Structure 1
Amino acid sequence: MIFIVVKWTPKPELVEDFPDIVADFTKATRAEPGNLFFEWSRSLENPSEYVLVEGFRDGEAGGEHVNSAHFKAFVAEAPDVLASTPLIISQSIDADGWGEMGEIRV
């Protein structure tokens, strides 16, 4: 799996509208056959920051994502709504999705 975490900081006047701004991009990415998950959260430490956690089946699926029309359109439009360059961690890991946490059982 390609596991990606990206930190996004929208312009101050767009922080509250950011989920709506990324909605079409999110919907299109989640519809990709190789997408495992594409989940946005808001930082508890910095409410002006959003965190995106992404999973793609493999490098081929990740490549299809970055070559898709919706990704290219989003990349072209993103600088207009961001206050800073996003920060990213992208790694290939030996997993195919989420598993239960071993230290806590409910």
Structure 2
Amino acid sequence: MITITVKWDVKPEYADDYMELTREFTEATRAEPGCLWFDWSRSVDNPNEYVLVEAFRDGAAGGEHVNSEHFKKAMATHGEYAASRPKIISYEIPQDDWSELGELQMPEA
């Protein structure tokens, strides 16, 4: 799968409405057949920072995503909300879902 994490530094005047401003893009991406997840979080330390964690079935699904009309539209318009160019980490890894955190000690059931 392809897994991507993007940090968005959002202009303060858009920060509180950012999830609504990106709703159309988010919903369209989540509806893609190759999308495994597309999840936004807001930083607890910086209210103007959003983190997007996304994953796609494979490179082909990732390619379909970046060639979609909703992706092209978002990349052409969402820069208006950004205080700086978003930062990204992208990897292709040999799995198809989240792995469990084995190091965490869990109480006996």
SS in 2 for 1:51: strand
Q: Which residue does the alignment assign to 1:18?
A: 18
Structure 1 stretches of at least 4 aligned residues deviating more than 4 Å after TM superposition: none
CA deviation after TM superposition for structure 1 residue 81, in Å: 1.3
Residue in structure 1 matched with residue 61 of structure 2 by the alignment: 61
2:83 counterpart letter in structure 1: A
Q: Match for residue 36 of structure 2?
A: 36
d(CA) in 1 for partners of 2:47, 2:16: 10
The one-letter code of the counterpart of 1:67 is: N
Runs of at least 5 residues in structure 1 that lack an aligned partner in the other structure: none
Q: Distance in 1 between matches of 2:92 and 2:47?
A: 29
Name the counterpart of 2:92.
92
CA drift at 1:91: 0.8
Q: Percent identity?
A: 58
Tell me what 2:75 maps to. Answer: 75
Greater displacement, 90-99 / 48-57: 90-99
SS at match of 2:46: coil
Q: Report the Cα offset of residue 4 of structure 1.
A: 0.2
CA offset at residue 80 of structure 1? 1.2
User: Displacement, 1:100?
Assistant: 2.1
Find out whether 1:3 has 2:3 as its counterpart.
yes
User: Which runs of 5 or more structure 2 residues have no equivalent in the other structure?
Assistant: none
Q: C-alpha separation between the residues in 2 aligned to 1:83 and 1:30?
A: 25
